């Protein structure tokens, strides 16, 4: 399949169009699935700590709910756009479908930079965000979750405001809550661990032992930290990580060729996943330009920062040693770069499969919250492994059978499931 690169939404649509061709979807189904079912774009006026009012832009996009209530995170980012949120909402639909959980796809965002906002100001944004969409979200409609630069605390503020509006305790209306306040054990680890479950399965297929592998990771936030934790636990060595430096407004890569020490780096990392470069140097890390993470001589690359990070401009820098790219982030590889990675014969695990651990565990959290009964961490992570592994195996079997890339095979399965749900409901 060939994909044309545009902005994130056009890229998501272009990916969908290619799959629609392969599945010979009828015009009505294509028209329905190319666009979100519903989208909300609104203003959030906030009184800042200095007494001035500032108006932030908020979004919630619900792409499709044929398979169940919508599900998706809320991102705080200064460069957030409605088109990015639309793309991410569409990818959520495919992500829920590929891992076969009974949920649809949504995404939300606020155009803001939390680095420059106090926690009280962020709380007001969270409460303001949910006041604008309270009539359009909820446990049976659309269940938000944390994402880039939002945390369990943000989710609890949103839940508290939502419950005040509804006059009831509705813990199943949001996920990613703090443990003890309706959150699930294992949720924090889920996305990163899920990435590594899929890496483990890919290495198994390639006949490579995890112990013999090295990895370079872009990002050092929630996804990256827990991916590194499990990858190291099962025997892998991470030689390079990168993160955004808020002071210098550029990213840096931190290298230790005999393996980074996760505990050590966590101690010098801020809550946004930014590593303190001066302290890292003191700990013996080599400081490189941020984009060097991709040029490392490793077996596995894990982009786990933001979208559009592996492009036609830097894909040529990927070492011939690299055998697996596991997309921890959403949309990290542009279509042009994707084609080159395929040509190089690298085993790429596509974002909506590789990073589905978060939404799987969010689904587990929702189930637990609705039952008001909570599972043990081992129970949650064991169930996560089963879901991730069976989804991976289904995709790789189809890829082999139909001679498709992993991304195309995952799309074929996911889009087919959603299209079938739309047909079964009589929508198309």
Catalytic center residues = 107
Residue 243 CB, nearest distance to ligand NAD (Å)? 4
Number of chain positions touching ligand NAD (CB under 6 A): 27
Position closest to ligand NAD via CB: 221
Q: Which of 172, 219, 236, 350 binds ligand NAD (CB under 6 A)?
A: 219
Told to check if 306 binds ligand NAD by CB under 6 A, we report yes
Told to check if 218 binds ligand NAD by CB under 6 A, we report yes
Told to check if 380 binds ligand NAD by CB under 6 A, we report no
Q: Which of 108, 236, 273, 350 binds ligand NAD (CB under 6 A)?
A: 273
Q: Which stretch binds ligand NAD (CB under 6 A): 61-69, 163-171, 221-229, 380-388?
A: 221-229
User: In the numeric block, which tokens belong to residue 315?
Assistant: 């894909």
29 or 251: CB nearest ligand NAD = 251
Told to check if 101 binds ligand NAD by CB under 6 A, we report no
Told to check if 216 binds ligand NAD by CB under 6 A, we report no
Q: CA–CA separation, 318 vs 331, rounded Å?
A: 18
Sign of CA dihedral 289, 291, 292, 293: positive
Residue 7 CB, nearest distance to ligand NAD (Å)? 16
Told to check if 223 binds ligand NAD by CB under 6 A, we report yes
25 or 59: CB nearest ligand NAD = 59
Largest CA distance in the chain: 63
Strand-pairing partners, residue 111, are 57, 77
Told to check if 148 binds ligand NAD by CB under 6 A, we report yes
Phi-psi region of 78 (alpha: psi -120 to 50; beta: other; left: phi over 0): alpha
**Residues 342-371: x where in contact with ligand NAD by CB under 6 A, - otherwise, as a string:** -------------x--x-------------
Residue 220 CB, nearest distance to ligand NAD (Å)? 4
Q: List residues binding ligand NAD (CB under 6 A).
A: 147-149, 191, 218-224, 242-244, 251, 272-274, 290, 304-306, 328-330, 355, 358
């Amino acid at each position: 399949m060939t994909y044309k690169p545009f902005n994130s939404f056009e890229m998501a649509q272009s990916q969908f169009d290619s799959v629609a061709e392969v599945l010979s979807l009828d015009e009505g189904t294509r028209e329905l699935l190319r666009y979100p079912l519903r989208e909300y774009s609104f203003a959030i006026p906030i009184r800042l700590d200095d007494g001035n009012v500032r108006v932030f832009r908020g979004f919630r996009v619900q792409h499709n709910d044929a398979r169940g209530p919508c599900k998706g995170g809320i991102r705080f980012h200064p460069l957030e756009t409605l088109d990015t949120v639309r793309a991410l909402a569409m990818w959520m639909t495919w992500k829920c479908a590929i891992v076969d959980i009974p949920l649809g796809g949504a995404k939300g965002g606020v155009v803001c930079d939390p680095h420059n906002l106090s926690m009280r100001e962020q709380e007001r944004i969270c409460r303001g965000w949910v006041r604008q969409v309270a009539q359009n979200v909820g446990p049976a409609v659309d269940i938000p979750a944390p994402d880039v630069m939002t945390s369990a605390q943000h989710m609890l503020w949103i839940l508290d405001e939502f419950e005040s509006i509804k006059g009831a305790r509705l813990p199943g209306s949001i996920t990613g809550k703090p443990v003890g306040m309706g959150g699930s054990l294992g949720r924090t680890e889920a996305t990163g661990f899920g990435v590594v479950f899929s890496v483990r399965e890919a290495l198994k297929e390639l006949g490579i032992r995890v112990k013999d592998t090295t990895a370079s990771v872009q990002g050092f936030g929630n996804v990256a930290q827990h991916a590194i934790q499990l990858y190291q636990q099962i025997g892998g060595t991470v030689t390079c990580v990168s993160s955004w430096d808020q002071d210098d407004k550029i990213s840096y890569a931190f290298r230790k060729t005999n393996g980074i020490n996760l505990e050590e780096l966590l101690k010098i990392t801020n809550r946004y996943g930014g590593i303190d470069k001066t302290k890292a140097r003191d700990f013996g890390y080599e400081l490189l330009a941020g984009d060097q993470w991709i040029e490392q001589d490793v077996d596995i690359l894990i982009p786990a920062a933001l979208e559009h990070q592996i492009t036609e401009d830097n894909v040529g820098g990927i070492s011939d040693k690299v055998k697996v790219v596991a997309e921890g982030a959403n949309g990290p590889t542009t279509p042009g770069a994707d084609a080159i990675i395929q040509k190089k014969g690298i085993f790429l695990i596509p974002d909506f499969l590789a990073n589905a651990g978060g939404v799987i565990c969010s689904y587990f959290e929702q189930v637990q919250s609705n039952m008001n009964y909570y599972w043990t961490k081992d129970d949650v992570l064991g169930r996560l492994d089963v879901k991730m592994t069976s989804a991976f195996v289904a995709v790789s079997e189809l890829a082999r059978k139909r001679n498709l890339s992993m991304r195309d095979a995952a799309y074929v399965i996911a889009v087919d499931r959603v299209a079938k749900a739309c047909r079964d409901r009589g929508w198309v």
